[in-house]
Chain A
């Protein structure tokens, strides 16, 4: 059944609309004969013709002789400016500069800022370039934060175990979210626990960074979590990016972050999400508060919620990483004139003081990381299969990134033996020579904590069969 409800319009109003449209169009102050043909430069013409008129007027009164010259000059300037608009972006399928309808499918969608907003790559570059100068003047870098397992942990209400039921009586009120840390978001059927120290972390980080949220969750979830973390909207503003906004599936990218790559630091627990930007990433130790989250990652142990405990506030991951961020920030802005960097192939001497824009936070991150195990010489024992190239093993690379030098043979300069078995020859050598004998978690912990760990905490066990 068709419903004949198309609005019929009286012809008089139709004519009036048409009349007004044309009248307003031609009546705009910058109207010139060729405006119909080339609407792109509407604004340009406006300002120029205004200028032109002023010049004409002024010069005819005061210096009549020079009138024609000036006029010609102004005209030529106007005509060069009449270039076709490059359509740097669009809003509701209209160019943001000239207002012409555009159909540009190649540009990047910025739906997280406003519905219908798209920008092309040149415009993004331009915005980043102008923005970075301003940020650096304010001594700010960019920080992209992941939500789940980094700043907080959420679980579906249905997935809560019996031992977690007690949490329902401990939830904080949603009225004043700035104080609480455990919330039940009923509209999403979620229970959310903020990571200890997160409030202090955000407050202190916001002084050094312009912060973004970037989560693989849905938009509604991202906004709800942003509200819990930042009720006064002072940290994130409209910079909340969710799964729906990304340009690639199952990947996070800095292409929709309006910050230049060399000034962005990323905090995330999933390295694989940032395949293109690994150098910007500080990998976070995952925060598992709820049992469902532990199960999801295959841990059999009891969750923090079931043990009725929580991560330590002063020594937790966020406190640790805040110290790293402070170091990175300090080094970026206050480093001595030259910074000596070794990228694996050659030494770079960067002259930093005079050109902040040229600085690269990725290099700074590497340098900071290289300090962690500086001076350690590591020999691996019983860690890699004998038939593979030890230098290509992740653990070996990790140790090198942390600034340690690695070797396959023991010699007096060796400081640490990383071993999977206390019974090997190298392990025995370590004990005899009073070198540190640690298991591989010593390196992994240093990698997360960005700090050399106490060797005693990582003893090597004797294997039975040997």
Chain B
């Protein structure tokens, strides 16, 4: 799920960046530091959309660095247990399949794939129903339900299931 939230952060800036472009330097450093990182609390920071305000800088003793408290708006992405998510399949094997939704890595084990879908080997491994009407393979888009999440410093791992009503393939790359 995406959220547009306000976060705060103390930015340390080297004195060489002081001057006319102080603000731009602060913002670009903030973007570099924050975008693409994860925290367990908020999830994955997708993009900074605006700066609320920049507080008074405090010179740190001994270093000359100045720290600015910054308040910024950003879009974050965080998967939740129970959430329905759409993801792209990246790898299919006999254990199940792996899918990606942005930075999130999701594994759907074959325990959580409907029993009527069977694994087929070959150069394009896939899970197919007995009548061949539904096929999950690499690059398929699937709708799945998250049943477990774990957030690392740079990665988010999820366990998903498609063994429920209205879950499964939403777009087949072969027919598209």
> Is A21's beta carbon under 8 Å from chain B?
yes
Tell me the nearest residue of chain B to A10, going by C-beta: B6
Chain A residue numbers with a CB within 8 Å of B98 are: 114
Would you call B5 and A127 a contact (CB within 8 A)?
no
> Is A317's beta carbon under 8 Å from chain B?
no
- B71 CB to closest chain A CB, in angstroms? 8
What is the 8 Å Cβ interface bit string for chain A, positions 36-56, against chain B (1 contact, 0 not)? 000000110011001000000
What is the 8 Å Cβ interface bit string for chain B, positions 134-168, against chain A (1 contact, 0 not)? 00000000000111111010010111010111000
Would you call B161 and A17 a contact (CB within 8 A)?
no
Q: A-B contact count, CB below 8 Å?
A: 146
CB < 8 Å neighbour of A5 from B1, B33, B109, B123: B33
Tell me the nearest residue of chain A to B9, going by C-beta: A7
What is the 8 Å Cβ interface bit string for chain B, positions 40-68, against chain A (1 contact, 0 not)? 01100000000000000000101100010
CB < 8 Å neighbour of B164 from A46, A114, A134: A46
Please report the total number of B residues contacting A with Cβ < 8 Å: 54
CB < 8 Å neighbour of B6 from A13, A21, A27, A96: A13
Interface stretch of the complex, out of A97-105, A166-174, A293-301, A330-338: A97-105
Tell me the nearest residue of chain A to B152, going by C-beta: A92
Instruction: Find residues 270-295 in chain A having any chain B CB closer than 8 Å to their own CB.
Output: none
Would you call B165 and A50 a contact (CB within 8 A)?
yes
Would you call A97 and B5 a contact (CB within 8 A)?
no
Chain B residue numbers with a CB within 8 Å of A98 are: 147-148
Tell me the nearest residue of chain B to A99, going by C-beta: B148
Tell me the nearest residue of chain B to A85, going by C-beta: B111
CB < 8 Å neighbour of A9 from B41, B107, B109, B163: B41
> Contacts A1-B63, A43-B163, A94-B150 known; A10 to B7 CB distance under 8 Å?
yes
Docked pose: A94 CA to B79 CA in angstroms: 15
Instruction: Find residues 51-97 in chain A having any chain B CB closer than 8 Å to their own CB.
Output: 88-89, 91-97
> Is A358's beta carbon under 8 Å from chain B?
no
Interface stretch of the complex, out of A175-183, A231-239, A443-451: A231-239
Docked pose: A93 CA to B149 CA in angstroms: 10
Chain A residue numbers with a CB within 8 Å of B109 are: 88-89, 91, 96-97
Docked pose: A154 CA to B141 CA in angstroms: 41
> Contacts A27-B82, A96-B111 known; A117 to B95 CB distance under 8 Å?
yes
Please report the total number of A residues contacting B with Cβ < 8 Å: 57
CB < 8 Å neighbour of B7 from A7, A116, A131: A7
CB < 8 Å neighbour of A101 from B5, B8, B150: B150
Tell me the nearest residue of chain B to A233, going by C-beta: B123
> Is A210's beta carbon under 8 Å from chain B?
yes
Chain A residue numbers with a CB within 8 Å of B148 are: 94-95, 98-101
Would you call A238 and B93 a contact (CB within 8 A)?
yes
Chain A residue numbers with a CB within 8 Å of B112 are: 43, 96-97
> Is B17's beta carbon under 8 Å from chain A?
no
CB < 8 Å neighbour of A17 from B9, B78, B81, B121: B78
Chain A residue numbers with a CB within 8 Å of B146 are: 99
> Is B14's beta carbon under 8 Å from chain A?
no
Interface centre among A91, A116, A135 (most CB of B within 10 A): A91
> Contacts A47-B163, A210-B121 known; A13 to B5 CB distance under 8 Å?
yes
> Is A20's beta carbon under 8 Å from chain B?
yes
> Contacts A13-B5, A88-B111, A138-B121 known; A127 to B80 CB distance under 8 Å?
no
Interface centre among B11, B123, B163 (most CB of A within 10 A): B123
Chain A residue numbers with a CB within 8 Å of B41 are: 9, 14, 17
Would you call A127 and B123 a contact (CB within 8 A)?
no
Chain A residue numbers with a CB within 8 Å of B123 are: 232-234, 237
Would you call A99 and B78 a contact (CB within 8 A)?
no
- A303 CB to closest chain B CB, in angstroms? 36
Would you call B157 and A116 a contact (CB within 8 A)?
yes
Would you call A20 and B80 a contact (CB within 8 A)?
yes
Which 5 A-B pairs rank lowest in CB-CB distance, beginning with the nearest?
A: A99-B148, A92-B157, A99-B147, A8-B8, A96-B109
Q: Give 10 pairs: A residue, B residue, CB < 8 Å, sorted on A.
A: A4-B12, A10-B6, A13-B3, A91-B107, A91-B157, A91-B159, A98-B147, A99-B149, A134-B119, A258-B95
